[in-house]
Amino acid sequence: MWVYVYLAIGSNLGNRVSNIKKSINYLKSTRGIKFERASCVFESPAQGGPKGQSPYLNLAIKIKTILTPFELLDTLKNIEIKLKRKNDIHWGPRTIDLDILSYSDLVLISDRLSIPHPLMHRRMFVLKPLSEIGPDFIHPIYNKTVLKLLKGLNNGTKEIVPFN
């Protein structure tokens, strides 16, 4: 059965635009995934991790998939490996970061994967792009739309800017 999934994509190392395009192309060529739409790309300062990181480019995409959540996670991790992501520094710079934000209305908590993404409701750089493509998506734990979650933040909006 096909389900709708929202993903977050970010990059702050190397050719950020190329990294994002390549990750989307890998997703589009994956059996069991159908690309639906993407938000605009936004630029924002790195949050957390070591100081002095380059700004991130972030966007959200909507896909349909027949993959299970764990199959999708493995697919995303394989794409990150292909794009030479390193995981040596917590919240450190990365060529690509692919996160599952939601998987239909599923709530899942495990050692490997938490759905919905446990920090999405607190991250302007996630909610702003997501609000473009899924403004009425209801967070299955907080029972609020993305727009309501976004309005509840009211901070950092000046730091999240559209990228050409």
pLDDT tens per residue, range 68-112 = 999 999 999 999 999 987 766 666 689 999 999 999 999 999 999
Dihedrals φ, ψ of 151, to 5°?
Answer: -65, -30
Give the N- to C-terminal CA distance of the chain in Å, as an integer.
36
40, pLDDT greater than 70: yes
124: left (phi over 0), alpha (psi -120 to 50) or beta: alpha
Q: Please tell me the predicted confidence (pLDDT) of residue 73.
A: 98
Among 16, 31, 37, 94, the active-site one is 94
Average pLDDT over residues 143-160: 81
Please indicate whether residue 105 is annotated as part of the active site. Answer: no
Tokens 């992501």 found at: 85
Per the structure, how many domains does the chain have?
Answer: 1
Asked if the model's pLDDT at residue 48 lies above 80, the reply is no
pLDDT value at position 58? 97
Mean pLDDT of 45-50: 80
User: Which residues are bridge partners to 44 per DSSP?
Assistant: 56
d(CA 116, CA 113): 9
Residue found under tokens 């750089």: 125
Active-site residue, from 31, 37, 99, 112: 99
85, 105, 111, 123: the catalytic one is 85
Question: Is 112 tagged catalytic?
Answer: no
Return phi, psi of residue 9, to 5°. -125, 135
Average pLDDT in the chain: 92
Among residues 31, 74, 88, 97, the one annotated as catalytic is 97
Q: Are the C-beta atoms of residues 162 and 125 closer than 8 Å to each other?
A: no
User: What is residue 52's predicted lDDT score, i.e. its pLDDT?
Assistant: 79
- 155: confidence class by pLDDT, cuts 50, 70, 90: low
Which two structure tokens, joined as six digits, stand for 106? 């599923």
Between residues 23 and 51, the one the model is more confident about: 23
Beta bridge partners of 109: 114
| Cα 60 from Cα 10, distance rounded (Å) | 9
Q: Is the peptide bond before 129 cis (omega within 30 degrees of 0)?
A: no
**pLDDT tens for residues 105-132?**
999 999 999 999 999 999 999 999 999 9
Which CATH number does the domain housing residue 66 bear? 3.30.70.560
Report the distance separating Cα 49 and Cα 89, nearest Å.
8
16 catalytic residue (yes or no): no
Nearest to 149 by CA among 136, 160, 162, 158: 136
Quote the pLDDT of residue 46. Answer: 87
85 is catalytic: yes
Least confidently predicted of 18-22, 26-30, 36-40, 122-126: 122-126
- Expressed as residue numbers, the domain containing 145 is 3-162
